A and B are shown apart, each in its own frame.
Chain A
Amino acid sequence: MMPRTMFDKIWDQHVILEREGNTLLHVDFHFCHDGSFNAFAKLAARGLPVRRPDRMVGTPDHYVPTTSRSIDDLASDDMKRVFRAFERNFTSHGITHFPIGDPRQGIIHVVGPEQGLTQPGLVIVCGDSHTSTHGAVGAIAFGIGASEVTHVMATQALWQKRPGTMRITIDGNRPDGVTGKDAILAIIARIGAVGGTGYAVEYAGSLIRAFSMEERFTVCNMSIEAGARCGMIAPDDTTFDWLKGRPFAPAGEQWDAALGFWKQVPGDPGAGFDREERLDGAALAPMVTWGTSPEQAVAVTGAVPDPDAEDDDERRAALVAAVDYMGLEPGQAMGDVIVDRVFIGSCTNSRIEDLRAAAAVVRGRRVRVSHAFVSPGSGLVKRQAEEEGLDRVFTEAGFEWRESACSMCVGMNGDVARPGERTASTSNRNFRGRQGPGVRTHLASPATAAAAAVHGRFVDIRGL
């Protein structure tokens, strides 16, 4: 048999049938959040049941407040309706869920792995684009829209056309101050926001192997920002050690059976990819975005590009629009950019290691921006951070220590900044208005965002 990539091996195991070059793919796990009300309503309108409630799990995150745990405190009737629908839908269909108030509640892309549901060799879908996160254990995981969510609820399967395969290799020792977030921002800056479109991306190389599970989740999380269908990393001992003992991970004899299977998940030696990209790990540096697309990222020691250096009229106009929106000057050093607010959280960077990295920078210093807060990725992350005393490090520095939700990554719960304000954010999208109308977002790692909070501007954490 021809050597196959990890993606192809997992895909082949999930093929129910093929028709006209399209595949009806079996879905192992369907993760769900509070934005699922449209899909449940579509299912109800057709009078269909959830076909495999034993393969679904949910927790609210998008609309959840970070300042309260009471639905009565929600900002609007729309939001109250969303929560009542969530509770009703999951309860009536008999689906395991972690509602507000349950310590396991959190951001679904943090909770799935934390509970041990995110496992190697699986096909995982969720009505959220950052579902690519779960590929970090060696799974095919991708986001879908409400119609496809309804389809999965009704059938536990999905029609898909097999994407191409791309491998992005980063070899080299980890440079000082570089995290998974810096690596993925560098990758997107290199290949562009459409660089991964049409591909399933596998990240490989010695630097990727050296990454912790938390960093691997961060890398795969932002695959979608390069346009990729999904991102994945071959499972290894780092993966298996991380999974062992988690609530929904197999145990005892089942663990042995699962481990035997998981070890067969990585691609065969010599398997060919449709496209290959390489980055020099030793050349990576702490990164920050300057513009309105995640592809517009530079080293924190770098500068805002000069649109006049672009020959193409339309490309130049796009750069001018981004520089204008961001309120920056061409050629301005990123170190001269003054920050108003700092957000540490989101499915990209809200895990315990992220909070430790931010706290290490913050410890003993004072916030010098108008507002900074932390929203841990789950109730369990929050609890662990409190056991380690991280909450006090943040609050003593002037951060707010809040509850778990998507929060200011997407602003749907009312956590937004004011028009014209500039944020340093550990989230994944610096789109115009993403954090509130007219808000200017700069993406960075937890350490770099924390450093911006205590310095009031972007600084190179390697010099701290």
Chain B
Amino acid sequence: MKPFTTVSAVAAPLDMINVDTDQVIPARFLGRPVDERYPDYLFHDLRFDADGAERPDFVLNRPGFRDASLLVTDRNFGCGSSREHAVTALVEAGFRAVIAPSFGDIFYANSLKNGFLPVRLPDEVCRRLRGMLHDGPGGEITVDLESQTVTAPDQTTWSFDIDPFQKRKVLHGVDDIDDTLGEIDAIRAFEREYDARMTWLTTRRTR
């Protein structure tokens, strides 16, 4: 997995609550291969109208935000469907992190598995950051995982929380499956005891 250490980049304010993963990538694109068209699927129906023309009001179509690699948004970003394609679309479009007061649980987990950082900051901080970005399009934000800080365009810095176990994995790009298979003896020992007790569990028809 690609590690995440620190990113300083243009950030875009997305003033929407409950941005579900159907908004991030509509379902009709989920069967498509990951290729050079993938960045266009990101926020597709928010960015483009029915004829494929850009909606001028959408933040990523506005001057100063077109090259953004960070997003600052509102509560419950990434709620809804478990589709990991949402993270893939963000990553393929060049995004590295998203800052919000809260996230959909599954989106949060999916992000960390892809070295894409979901950063939780309080509601009022996200609001202030979005305000700064609106006032100064093209403003850069720095997200630093080691120090767990976000630095605003006006150099104000806030700390964010992340589980230390997850932080270490993302910071060093630890491969989860390799890590877990390193515990295979413990897994086997658990299963021997467990399966001996739960004898009726199988997806294979036995009668």
Interface residues of A (CB under 8 A from B): 13, 16-17, 19-22, 24, 26, 28-29, 35, 38, 46, 48, 53-57, 63, 76, 78-79, 81-82, 95-96, 117, 119, 122, 127-129, 143-148, 150-151, 154-157, 159, 161, 193-194, 197-198, 224, 227-229, 247-248, 250-251, 254-255, 257-258, 261, 292-293, 295, 314, 317-318, 321, 410-412, 419, 429, 431-434, 437-438
Contacts and interface: CB of A to CB of B under 8 A. Distances in A.
Contacts of A155: 177, 180-181, 184, 187
A156 B187 contact: yes
Contact of B105 (A28, A156, A198): A198
Nearest to A161: B163
A16 B188 CA distance: 9
Contacts of B187: 16, 24, 26, 155-157
Interface in B21-63: 22-23, 26-28, 30-32, 45, 50
B105 A229 contact: yes
Given A17-B186, A143-B106, A128 B45 contact: no
A261 B200 CA distance: 11
A96 B82 contact: no
A317 B15 contact: yes
Contacts of A13: 194
B146 interface: no
A20 B165 contact: yes
A76 B75 CA distance: 36
A26 B74 contact: no
B81 interface: yes
Interface of B: 15-18, 20, 22-23, 26-28, 30-32, 45, 50, 74-76, 79-84, 87, 102-107, 109-110, 113-114, 127, 163-166, 168, 176-177, 180-181, 183-184, 186-187, 190-191, 194, 198-205, 207
A198 B75 CA distance: 14
10 contacts: A26-B190, A26-B194, A57-B203, A78-B32, A96-B203, A122-B201, A145-B82, A145-B113, A194-B76, A247-B205
A147 B110 contact: yes
A437 B45 contact: yes
B205 A257 contact: no
A87 to B, nearest CB: 15
A151 B17 contact: no
A177 to B, nearest CB: 28
Contacts of B106: 129, 143-145
Given A17-B183, A127-B82, A314-B17, 10 more contacts: A13-B194, A22-B166, A46-B177, A48-B177, A54-B202, A95-B203, A251-B207, A429-B22, A429-B80, A437-B50
Nearest to B207: A251
B176 A129 contact: no
Nearest to A436: B28
Contacts of A127: 82
Contacts of A437: 26, 45, 50
A192 B199 CA distance: 41
A82 B32 CA distance: 10
A433 B176 contact: no
A81 B203 contact: no
Contact of A431 (B23, B107, B164, B177): B23
Contacts of B199: 254, 257
Contacts of A438: 50
A148 B109 contact: yes
Contacts of A63: 31
Contact of B203 (A82, A117, A148, A150): A117
Given A20-B165, A21-B165, A78-B31, A433 B26 contact: yes
A387 to B, nearest CB: 24
Contacts of A410: 27, 81
Contacts of B84: 38, 145-147
List 4 A-B pairs, minimum CB-CB distance, nearest first.
A250-B200, A147-B113, A145-B110, A145-B84
Contacts of A17: 183, 186
Contacts of B82: 127-129, 143-145
A55 B102 contact: no
B80 A431 contact: yes
